[in-house]
A and B are shown apart, each in its own frame.
Chain A
């Protein structure tokens, strides 16, 4: 089978000003602002081929070279070495609304943006009504208003609507789905799937692994500019996720003298164990979380309880849960907590706990004992926007038809 995209060992070198500050650089260098340059390879030796109809997901951490790779593939910048062979018309969406002019009306900007993205005037005129309809009623109403008066949501919707009506053989998309409100995301993803169904080739960068898993048959995992893995999506994602899962979720302190704490209490052991079902590799919203804590109590006969806080990565406290107070003697004290499945929403969380005496005096606050991430998981959904809220309960919420009369 003929490959439609073939990339053979492309590399891209940037020259960055050296991070090492030269102490007392020469007078000449200072006057003429001469900096030593250091080579930095944003993309190194990347090769892959795609056949017609392949959907490629490109994943990797920030700075892994994803965006540089997309820029090279969309001809915006040239690779330092290596060859690319792409057959067919390419449209790249590295952002929505590229080249919108704030002073021009929505109508003028549709023509402007369309032309920039490679549509002819005729094509735009033919699809004009569809574009406006796709963008929504609000845009239709303000079609002759300068886009500087648009809300950012309207701006994005109009931009995406234009891009969605490009008709390329190969579509290159960078995270543009991460914008807009939930309704619009649904619409955009639907449109992407529609394009996907049309035997088009798509290259798609995303942090949203669920969307990659659903949309792409192949995945390229980049790490520091190199290809970590390229292959079938399922395989690459599993590998990627298991590599991510070495967060520090267990702490053990052998010696009481070096353990965190003070003269009253010291931490001995803390562990967070997510339950994994089926072929699950990392904690997601389905997982229950078991927290085991052990500490040394250094004073006899105290009335102690533990108060545990879970914080969102934004710093807000999600909840605070406490044990009952208990008279405890010198030695090791243990406490266990289980957070049920479908309780925390996907996101990053921090756990802190304090040991409290007589229900009011804080003996020690153990901060940031765990820092863990919960991944998203959804079944039978077509919507991949961020699920709102910190909690993700599954309450019984029946719906039924009680009558068929109007």
Chain B
């Protein structure tokens, strides 16, 4: 019992520190800006407008897989920004907190988790805009919405896992920081973000693709939860991606666990 109490008090202390670091990042985020939180929705909307322009004027596509192009693209971008922003900030989190890490001891894992706070808040605001869009385009919201928290949670696990790997290695060799933007930039196109996997999900290589790029299953699951009637992938394909994401999460935490005690020596 005594052991459990200690464990419990340690956990609640860590949780408090997590909350306060997350709160710090969120409240600092829009200090000294005139538009404040509006910035959180400007980015996904502009990205969507750019692709709309291309699709309408270059190839004259107005719907994808039978759903309005705006809805498909915006939901994809919303998902992608959640993943990419949290992945990037988790990857940079250790280096950015170097002054803390080299001066105070606290459970280092907190750094990883608190880094996703800002992208999560941005995501919530983006989601608000999605609901407005869905009303405009007459897209129903079904009970599938209950799956949304699960997709979001798993997406965050994946970004923490991947971020933890990059955060751990970039402390010693900053080369790893150079890889992150490459992943974010090309990952956007090799994942069905501004298109859907409808055209190729039956191809023989798809299973392998869904394991190595778990974002495929996640983004389609994400659309499934938001867009009523959208049902591209089978449950099996989605489970494959979820399994892969959770594995990456644990691998990331394990790498971080092995490396965390040497951070100070290279910061």
**Which residues of A approach B to under 8 Å, CB–CB?**
14, 71, 74-78, 90, 92, 94-95, 98-99, 101, 103-104, 108, 111-112, 115-118, 120-121, 146
Contact = CB atoms under 8 A, between A and B. Distances in A.
B137 interface: no
Contacts of A101: 24, 28
Given A103-B28, A112-B24, A118 B103 contact: no
Nearest to B100: A99
Contacts of A94: 103-104
A99 B104 CA distance: 9
Nearest to A117: B104
Given A77-B261, A77-B265, A99-B100, A116 B28 contact: no
Q: Is the interface of A mostly helix, strand, loop or mixed?
A: loop
Given A98-B103, A101-B24, A116 B17 contact: yes
Contacts of A95: 103
Interface residues of B, number: 23
Nearest to A98: B103
A369 to B, nearest CB: 44
Nearest to A114: B20
Contacts of B105: 74-76, 90, 92
A90 B104 CA distance: 11
Interface in B227-267: 261-262, 264-265
Given A76-B264, A77-B261, A120-B13, A99 B99 contact: yes
Interface of B: 12-13, 16-17, 20-21, 24, 27-28, 31-32, 99-106, 261-262, 264-265
Contacts, number: 62
A253 to B, nearest CB: 50
Contact of A121 (B16, B24, B102, B104): B16
Contact of B28 (A98, A104, A111, A117): A104
A118 B102 CA distance: 15
B20 A112 contact: yes
B27 A108 contact: yes
A115 B16 contact: yes
A14 B265 contact: yes
26 contacts: A75-B105, A76-B102, A76-B103, A76-B104, A77-B261, A77-B264, A77-B265, A78-B261, A92-B104, A94-B103, A98-B99, A98-B100, A98-B104, A99-B103, A99-B104, A103-B28, A104-B28, A108-B27, A111-B20, A112-B24, A115-B20, A116-B17, A118-B13, A120-B13, A120-B16, A121-B20
For A14, A76, A112, which residue has the most chain B Cβ atoms within 10 angstroms? A76
A194 B102 CA distance: 28
A85 to B, nearest CB: 16
Nearest to A121: B16
Contacts of A71: 102, 264
A30 to B, nearest CB: 16
Given A76-B104, A108-B24, 7 more contacts: A14-B265, A71-B264, A103-B28, A103-B31, A104-B27, A112-B24, A116-B106
Nearest to A15: B265
B254 to A, nearest CB: 18
A116 B100 contact: yes
